[in-house]
Chains A and B, each alone.
Chain A
Amino acid sequence: MDVGGGKDMVRYNIFIAGVGGQGLLTLGRILGNAAIEAGHDVTVAEVHGLAQRGGTLNVQVRIGPGEAPQIPRGGVDLFIALEALEALRYSSYVGRDTRIVMNKFIWPPPLAEYPSMESIIEKLREHGLKLYVVDANGLSKKILGTIISANIAMLGYSYAIDPGLQKLLEYKHLEKGLERVFRGKVLEANKKVLKESYNEGLKLI
């Protein structure tokens, strides 16, 4: 939680980083709906436009009373990175107590030099951060045959390792969040991905 002077203002801050096309907006929407289901106020800050595919992207979810959509640097409680380079790009949003859940996936921009996964993990560990590296693409692919639900897998992993989020939302609220966004076969598939990633996540603690 934020360490602020005011007592009433406690917002739970979730920063989602990744690349346009990885399902960040959908993930933000699910979290927002889950928060409503749990009876909380919530804002979800999105960025649309040119970053439809392939550009850097972030979505900021703030649960609790208040209306400012963006999270201050250092004020993030839970940092969900769908792509490893993007985890570093937005590292200034991370504070000492932030929990980081990072997808073990690098999607390099064309024609660019970039650091390796090992060096990224090493850097994050150097800072003594609570880091959880997960294979969300792999899990989605294992269950559905495509990486399309890696975003949902990130949600399952993150929920499993984050006591802060568990305090605010029950597992059923996440499922309700999915129900508000998907339906039919896609809903069932995503519920399965959520369940499996949650169970996998519990093993990481």
Chain B
Amino acid sequence: MFIPIDYLLASKGSKVLLMGNEAIARAAVEAGICFAAAYPGTPSTEIVETLADMAKHVGIHVEWSTNEKVAFEAAYAAAIAGVKALTAMKHVGVNVAADILMSSAYSGVNAGFIIVSADDPGQHSSQNEQDNRWYGLLSHIPVVEPSSPRDAYHLVKHAYSLSEKYMHPVILRSTTRISHTRQFIEIEQDIPVEKKCKGEFERNVERWVLIPAHGRKQKKRMMSIWKKIQEDDGAPPFITIENPGMKKVVFASGIAYAYVSEALEYMGKKNEYTVVKINLPVPLPYKPIVEVLRDAKSAIIVEELDPVVETQIKKIAHDHGLPVDLHGKDFVPENGELNLEIVYDSLSRFEGGGITKPWRSIGEIKIEPPVPARPPIMCAGCPHRNTFYILKVAANKAGLKNPVFTGDIGCYTLGYQKPFETQMTSFEMGGGVGIAYGLSKVIDEPVIGVVGDSTFYHACIPQSINIVYNKGRAMVVVLDNYYTSMTGHQPHPGTGISATGEEAPRIPAEKILESIGFETIVINPMNVKESIEKVTEAYKKYIEGKPVAIVSRLKCALQTLRDARRKGIKLPVYTIVEDKCTGCMVCVNLLACPAIVVPVGVKKPVILEDICVGCGLCASVCPFNAIVLKDKGSPNWIEAWM
């Protein structure tokens, strides 16, 4: 069992190892927030997850909202009522919330309000690597960007001060390497006892009702704040000048500072450069930039992804007539995340090349057969595997020809892989149903939108309504495993518990679908045979032209495993009887379960007992009944799955 949250509540002076997201959460609590709302999304999830863990101890409201737009609205409302608030989302989540983001800048706030945008350069776990600092320029909301988890811990508090100085929202832009790096952090203040949790609504239609006439006035207010920040907020911690007065300058924004700093150290060139550490890249305060460029001959701007700072610095240099030789994306890659080695290369090229790296790799070792790719796969016992298998087998039985399975964002996106191929699109949250509808209007094949439970509540309900309203021909399948599993099992409206662990109302997906007008069939995909029959019937109704939906409900295998351990339940384990096994490989080829492996030089598969969680799917597909129970498990093992 892990030690829960003592380290998050540590007192002033404690030395703790905090993940960037934990550091952001702790700092927000120190800053006095009393309201936090988010929708989970890598790499942002642990911010509000940490706040949820702390909520009862520190007396704040924390929730998982149905999507980012809803979360933003909730937290923004708290802030306009004078309660300090935070919302956090992954970079693409900001797209979902963009409408209210834009308006929030026009109307401002009555208490500190931070939007954490956790970007994902390198696309570790996202569909794109958009640079959300642009959102700052687009919306006229300042962007604070830390250089390390420790920096994030300090800057969150400064960001709240900035927000309250102008009563304006502030974006805190993190990235995967900030959010998911742990760093040694010394806690600098205790959690405040006093904080404002009760708000009051200021009746002020000119401010909150953005009809065009009011909006024009609010825009003037917003622009004057924008200009003031550019003018006044260029001092540390937002812009820090190290070793001033040099002819060569590096501007380093956010995490790029960590790389620049270490690279110059390795090059032994730290004394030759003025380094400008930028933690307020948008809008870039011009005074320190001008000050540094006056002394400089040449400069390089190092930043991850897009030339957001570079564009502004070039404009500042131009406006102030500073003829400095300026470089940036000509030496620093625009694609993917940066690291020490890449920045070392960039600086080396800026120096004219020829600086060898101090690290000597042995290179990639080649071997035959080569090391196979290991993309993420569905876990052993994953209910999605069962559902995908059932959807395909039933399609054959029902005579559903060449079905198109549109997909969405979740672990189940992995169904795009062989042998399932039951996810043929995945663009954004909600697209699984929206794209299914559109396709169904223009193609002849049957179209089945397969989406997760959390995704369904997040953004698939308007699309489902649209199918019925506009007489689409798409079927909806909701994979209900009780949790937002991919991001670490956060509860959602179908779970029956809240972010902070209290009992919450359950809003079952089938009730929603039925009320929209879908005939909705609920299956338990562990009952493979019965489910195939039910889905076959559903397909037949679909072919007849009826609006049909399926909810496939079984708990996520990882959560099942955890619950089983917690409750002392032993799950069953299967084994393959060697004498009965003909080596036909049906189990391997149809299911791609990580618990079933074929050892080198052997023609028959074996089950890894330590990995098997006893779902029994392989036993039900084996044509020779060669897969049998090795260990029956506890008599009540099924309870762990429900």
**A89→B2 CA distance, assembly (Å):** 30
* Cβ–Cβ < 8 Å partners of B147 in chain A: 67
Closest B residue by C-beta to A47: B124
Q: Are A72 and B610 touching (Cβ within 8 A)?
A: no
* Cβ–Cβ < 8 Å partners of A19 in chain B: 374
Q: Is A163 an interface residue (CB 8 A)?
A: no
Q: Identify which of A52-60, A153-161, A167-175, A191-199 touches chain B.
A: A52-60
Q: Is B375 an interface residue (CB 8 A)?
A: yes
Q: Is A80 an interface residue (CB 8 A)?
A: no
Question: Given A48-B42, A183-B1, are A67 and B368 also a contact pair (CB < 8 Å)?
Answer: no
Closest B residue by C-beta to A46: B180
Q: Are A127 and B376 touching (Cβ within 8 A)?
A: no
**A49→B15 CA distance, assembly (Å):** 27
Q: Is A142 an interface residue (CB 8 A)?
A: no
Q: Is A205 an interface residue (CB 8 A)?
A: no
Q: Is B212 an interface residue (CB 8 A)?
A: no
Q: Are B367 and A54 touching (Cβ within 8 A)?
A: no
| B495 to A: closest C-beta gap in Å | 18
Interface residues on B, range: 35 or more
Q: Are B376 and A20 touching (Cβ within 8 A)?
A: yes
* Cβ–Cβ < 8 Å partners of B375 in chain A: 55-56, 109
With beta carbons under 8 angstroms apart, the residue of A45, A55, A123 that contacts B177 is A45
Give the contacts of B367-382 with A (CB-CB under 8 A).
Answer: 367-380
Q: Are B361 and A181 touching (Cβ within 8 A)?
A: no
* Cβ–Cβ < 8 Å partners of B367 in chain A: 88, 115, 119-120, 123
* Cβ–Cβ < 8 Å partners of A89 in chain B: 371, 374
**A29→B46 CA distance, assembly (Å):** 15
Number of interface residues of A (CB under 8 A): 80
User: Quick one: CB contact mask for A75-86 with B, threshold 8 Å, 1 for yes?
Assistant: 100000000011
With beta carbons under 8 angstroms apart, the residue of A4, A69, A110 that contacts B596 is A110
With beta carbons under 8 angstroms apart, the residue of A49, A114, A119, A137 that contacts B42 is A49
**A76→B93 CA distance, assembly (Å):** 36
| A58 to B: closest C-beta gap in Å | 11
Q: Are A95 and B3 touching (Cβ within 8 A)?
A: no
Q: Is B262 an interface residue (CB 8 A)?
A: yes
9 closest A-B pairs by CB: A49-B125, A74-B361, A55-B376, A112-B372, A5-B268, A49-B42, A6-B265, A74-B359, A67-B258
State the B residues within 8 Å of A (CB).
1-3, 7, 15-17, 19, 42-43, 45-46, 124-125, 147-150, 176-177, 180-184, 258-259, 261-262, 264-268, 270, 339-341, 344, 357-365, 367-380, 411, 414, 418-419, 486-488, 558, 588-589, 592-594, 596-598, 600-601, 608, 610
State the A residues within 8 Å of B (CB).
2-6, 8-9, 19-21, 28-29, 32-33, 35-36, 40-56, 66-75, 85-86, 88-89, 91-96, 107-116, 119-120, 123-124, 127, 129, 137, 141, 146-147, 180-186
For the A-B complex with A45-B177, A147-B610, A180-B17 known, give 7 more contacts whose Cβ atoms are closer than 8 Å: A21-B379, A32-B184, A33-B17, A49-B125, A50-B376, A111-B589, A112-B372
